[in-house]
Structure 1
């Protein structure tokens, strides 16, 4: 008889497995070929250039060092990104715990009162009914899904991949914030260089005003020369007066980035910076972006998560086995609670398989397949965005360096021309209009050279961010 029951149970399990297999169908397979990348960047320097990515940041500037350290400690944006890592880690812990048995316990006291009339009135006189009863119970229960077809394991893999994605996102936020701080510091130093050039222009223009005034008083030059010289001086003053507005914008940006009062930010910016040449851009290859760019790493992690999600959804087509057990005590008085007769228990298992779901699971699989295609295209987009940023960064550095070299030559040439025109004017060999034109060209070229120098440094910050930063700066800021 026992063998017959076992055979019947085995036949039932086999039937459930076979019917579940009918719902299963072929496994989902979404092709995700790696994007084809060129062997080198179009505008990158030769591989024998001795340079490193970290040098692209203004690390020699004490203002950047101070503000970057403060930003990393206090930025709300970075703290939010780190909190997202913690949330992803909690989800992963939950997914891992789902693979383990669930054990619970309970205790109860229950009092019941019964109306004897509900049993009728034809009871023999020797039969009595206890109308009030109190029961005492305690139990320990356990249940476990052995995960025969890997559904829970796939969910855990997806959760772990999302931790990696959150970590890469935090690294991307860190990278962007460092680039913004570096760019703001470079712009601040550029404003200082522009102001110094304009101050020199103002001194030269005021010298011409004094010279024109002397010649006017001596009767050897018309008063119109003095008026034109004063107009040139006012032009320099006007450009100097426009600089505080740009400083206020940069100060506000750094207050937002560092979450510090303006006084602290300004004291950091007031530190003197060494005058060093812009570093050479480092040589890199496109494949470096796949391991250095946080956005690419985050997209790759999300692609891995979507693959695991697809596996977990597809595993719903197969039967699910649940094992359960319970061990308890039940007595109707406190004294009998620990007697051997009070012990109760049960052990069981259930097998659930989808038979006719009318396309519900297949619809979920189709959705998971679409999610994986979306994640793959997002990954491809991140790769080619990184490639485009790096190409643009190298091209920007190259163009900025060329523009700086031309601006420096132009400034030197215009300064010589202005000095020569002034000497000739003092000797009576040139008119004042020639001197003013030469001075005006020298003034504007000095400010342009300062701007070009700042743009060359700014281009290097952009390239640093495009390449994913150096390994220390690009690492996720995990707690």
Structure 2
């Protein structure tokens, strides 16, 4: 009868809980529709690689990048977050296993015999001091009949994948920043070289104007104008030092190295400037190559598991438990049969009337999944936009570089012809100064344009998901 009563109670609980039980709501997550190709993409026959977009042949970049990968604060922080996510996933998996605990105790008790009064039966006495010894071994297990714990573990594992993708995104961002800083440093050096050549040419004009003034064949105003052009070149050279200081400060923060160590790396011999071709790629490749897209997809999977776990709260939870204990007042009888006590049982917890609490949790989890899906779509189209812009920027920067190089060649030739005509008495000094001024600015513009073309390739490398190549850990 007692067993039948227990079975009837369990059946009633299941029947009532069935009134609120049901599957998780369906949240549509259709895959985003992407175009077949990029508007500014390179030709399909191009065999260039993504890794070649980085300045991997520059020893300064490889040294600073390796230092950042080994000891950069941001990268180490991201790695610690991955370890934390793995620990949480391990804990979620352990929740599905039985829990076993044990305890031992020794308890002393002293009783006041007066509390029992003076009318005790004859021959009956009270032991007022007792010392008891005990031990207990207990176990409990949730068999997870409806998959709530399994869903929580899936969510934790997905968040671990998201943390790993976030760490990869941090590495790519750091490498892109270092590459950009090194390119900026090399560009400043190229600009300084161009301005140095301009200064030499301007000083030669100063010397020429001074000779002509002393000979009385030219006014002193020509010398003053030539000196002004020389001072302009000196001023522009001096202005480069402030930009160098900013670059060093940025690299110190990224690599966790001292300013002197950064300077030593930047002093390494620079290779020849290069502008590798942009590799061809398909928009769909961004789904597997971009870490931020992978992280968003993993978080979407985690939200789906969270929704399942919330819906599983509608169903009963069965817990099995058992305990084995020892209790004795004398250590010599600790292992006697009379000292052994045990219990075993199970409990069934079912929601009967929660007044909408579980449904509120389900609605919240469903909204979180919708938000995660939109975040995933945002990451996909953000990646698409980054790649489109980067391809367009590379094409525009290449056209600018070609035009700047043609301008530099033409302006230099014009300055040389003006100087020849002046020395032959066929042109005045103002014509020479104007031609020289145009040539001076064109050289610096060409150096800056080359730096922008190289930087555009770093942005494309980052937009396509990056490829650490030889410097990967």
Q: Give the TM-score band, short-chain normalised.
A: over 0.9
Question: How far apart, in 1, do the equivalents of 2:104 and 2:447 lie?
Answer: 80
Distance 1:266 1:245, change over 3 A: same
Once the two structures are superposed, the pairs formed by residues 118-129 of structure 1 within 5 Å of their partners are 118-119=115-116, 123-129=120-126
SS for the counterpart of 1:24 is coil
The structure 1 residue matched to 2:65, chosen from 68, 75, 84, is 68
Deviations, residues 419-466 of structure 1 (Å, cap 9, x unaligned): 001111111111111111111000000000000000000000011011
Is this contact kept in 2: 1:41–1:286, CA < 8 A? yes
Deviations, residues 288-345 of structure 1 (Å, cap 9, x unaligned): 1111111111111111111111111111110000000011111121111111211111
Q: Which residue of 2 aligns with 1:31?
A: 28
Using structure 2 for the length normalisation, give the TM-score. 0.97
Once the two structures are superposed, the pairs formed by residues 114-153 of structure 1 within 5 Å of their partners are 114-119=111-116, 123-153=120-150
Question: How far apart, in 2, do the equivalents of 1:186 and 1:272 lie?
Answer: 13
Question: In the alignment, is residue 466 of structure 1 matched against residue 466 of structure 2?
Answer: no
Q: Which residue of 2 aligns with 1:107?
A: 104
Once the two structures are superposed, the pairs formed by residues 18-417 of structure 1 within 5 Å of their partners are 18-119=15-116, 123-417=120-414
Moved more, 255-264 or 451-460: 255-264
Question: How far apart, in 1, do the equivalents of 2:206 and 2:123 lie?
Answer: 133
Distance 1:472 1:358, change over 3 A: farther
Question: How far apart, in 2, do the equivalents of 1:390 and 1:432 lie?
Answer: 51
Question: How far apart, in 1, do the equivalents of 2:468 and 2:69 lie?
Answer: 16
SS for the counterpart of 2:136 is strand
Q: Which residue of 2 aligns with 1:436?
A: 433
Q: How far does residue 117 in structure 1 lie from its aligned partner after superposition?
A: 5.0
Distance 1:170 1:26, change over 3 A: closer
Deviations, residues 67-119 of structure 1 (Å, cap 9, x unaligned): 11111111011101100011111101111111111101111122223444545
Question: How far apart, in 1, do the equivalents of 2:452 and 2:289 lie?
Answer: 25
RMSD of the alignment, in Å? Answer: 1.5
Question: How far apart, in 1, do the equivalents of 2:138 and 2:238 lie?
Answer: 79
SS for the counterpart of 1:143 is strand
Question: How far apart, in 2, do the equivalents of 1:42 and 1:473 lie?
Answer: 30
Question: In the alignment, is residue 15 of structure 1 matched against residue 15 of structure 2?
Answer: no
Question: How far apart, in 2, do the equivalents of 1:119 and 1:349 lie?
Answer: 40
Equivalent residues, number: 473
What stretches of structure 1 of length at least 5 have no aligned partner?
Answer: none
Is this contact kept in 2: 1:292–1:474, CA < 8 A? no
Question: How far apart, in 2, do the equivalents of 1:267 and 1:128 lie?
Answer: 92
Question: How far apart, in 1, do the equivalents of 2:291 and 2:157 lie?
Answer: 17
